[in-house]
Structure 1
Amino acid sequence: MRSALVIGTGLIGTSVALALSARGVRVHLEDRDPEQVRTAAALGAGTEAPPDGPVDLAVVSVPPALTAPVLADAVRREAARGYLDVASVKGRPRRELADLGCDTTRYLGSHPMAGRERSGPLAATAELFEGRPWVLTPTAGTDTEVLNLALELVALCRAVPVVMDADAHDRAVALVSHTPQLLSSLVAARLAEAGEAAVRLCGQGIRDVTRIAASDPAMWVDILSANPGPVADVLAEVAADLDETVRALRALESADEHKRAGGAAGIEAVLRRGNAGRARVPGKHGAAPAAYETVAVLISDRPGELARIFADAGRAGVNVEDVRIEHATGQQAGLVQLMVQPAVAPVLTAALRERGWSIRQ
């Protein structure tokens, strides 16, 4: 691939353009908002100048409702040899493109499974897709050259290609992406009118659950409007589970010992089902989740403290597999949770204590 046209210079489009430009591809940028194009170009994502002729690949990065019309326009003006979109739903754009009378053999739907809570070109980064799954949804009619261009794009962005049927993809993202967004927002909404005393008790658990609730509502309305059925199906199942859980909790309030036992069994069942589902979430490098040991270290909020603790772990010959920081409300301190292989946890604990760190059990 020598040249590309990126149509839509938001977070995803600009990140694609930055990755391609960094690897020697000449990238042309388009957007209905000229200011976004100028910003993306200033970041080094490509040029505002239109291409002299058809580029190798056109990448359409616009909201799902606009994907088909924008693709159709690019096909009509013969902007590229191949066309690809990065919308978060795949079945609807393909069907709409066919309804518009476009030749879909030179089109391939795709979806990089990466993003951030922030939007716009200023949030973009060339590293956004590294190591992340990038779904490709070719059909029997997809031109081989277009599939090869799509695979090259994924490789240049250092992502991991995953081939799926378009409708299967939409059902999958309804479960692993779209429904979690709504549930996060629903939990966060409980905080909007909560008392100050309750909010001050917020810990890492509520921060984890509500992190993605900071996402742009307008963007999510576009996404959910393009995939409402599968999301509603998942939410209906969650609603049924919630109804059962509410009944179990009410039973725990009962004076009847038998009802309380049934309520406890119901709560335990849902928690164990959660354990089983969580265990299926891929861990480091996409492998099965590993059982890490956590070494919790008290750390002050001063420049260089994180660098120092990682350097001390390195001197001890210990590889930190994962890390989390739990901030202490109202204090200039927090806990750094270092996840390591169980066999080396005692080694790390001893080494950090020797270097003056305060270990918390």
Structure 2
Amino acid sequence: MKHSTPPTLPPHLTAYLASLPVASGAWTVRLRSPGRINLIGEHVDYTGGLVMPAAIDKAIYFVARPLSTPEWRLHAIDLCEQHTLSLPIEGPSPELWVNYLAGIGVQYQDQGQFLPGLEVVFGGNLPSGSGVSSSAALEGGMAFLLNELLNTKLSRPELAQLCQRSSNTFLGIPSGIMDQFASLNGLATGPIVLNCHTLEFEPVKNALTDYTLLLINSMVSHDLSDGAYAERVAECQRALAAIQQRTPETTHLSAATLEELEAVSGQLDEVAYRRAHYVIEENERVRSAVTALEAGSSHKLGRLLNATHAGLRDEYEVSCEELDFLQRAATALDGVAGARMMGGGFGGCTLNLVREDRLADVLQTVTDAYRATYAIDCECYPVRLAAGTSLI
């Protein structure tokens, strides 16, 4: 798996800055907030599970300068939208992208910080809605920016917790912490294994030198996903509650064993049982994936990726027809060790472990087959691993 080169501001952001009035002052903060992939450990972060994410070379870039007025002038250049937010921040805005930033500001306000007037311009090359967590990059970038300006000296794990609180309380999204944590704490040398219950993490040695990671974007997002995330959280909580009646020392679902789940299977509805079964097995797959990656075993890691996809499709039920097609089409080809859907589901990307000398052929064959079946041109992104959020 390849690593990225040092970042610079993307040309379209630089051009936009040049079009703005210079009288307002110098741009004092420039930073890069990356997207993330998750190699394995999907939909287990909110159950306190193990995940193996990595920051990538696609990112949102932030540039900010001070204002003398009590407001934030926000420029979302990739959306061609601007918004002025009065300070202090009183509540949500009708625009979702504004709320991702406003929620971070509210977290600092709640800590007793006085928010300064700012003009903030952001944009980049991170595809929205593709499962690489553009929302976490947006939150993490703003949290990092304010941490620098206010000199609050929060650690990167503390910033990730702040972002998660913003998602949970200001946006009302019952998300786990993996996306924000990976974006802020990723390493250019390889993925990390994160325990989402304790927030302990460590690097994973990457010995797969002849393989690369390819994201294939299905370009679909089904309405079925509305509310499905919260449903999965609630289903996992039902399973945990049943297990805790028998073994109260089990503090979170990912700490449960299959034996503990089987012992209460008669007390659970079928859906909650299947969700919990997937979660417990996925945690074991993460542990096995660490061994596979450090041993350089593409065959073993590929089998684990395929098993995760099957679990997400059949037990967790967050896949869709298009993602299943892309996964089957890729894994049928020589040079693809394994593939799975990545992210929240119901659309977005598949993550494919591809031998580098077969990358071009795999990309062409899968995209041609997808176009012939669905009349959709999918987008493909070979990804390099990168460091977490950083100043430029």
TM-score (norm 2): 0.28
Of structures 1 and 2, the one scoring higher in RCO (CA 8 A, sep 6+) is: 2
From the two aligned structures, give the one with the greater strand fraction: 2
Q: Which has more radius of gyration?
A: 1
TM-score (norm 1): 0.29
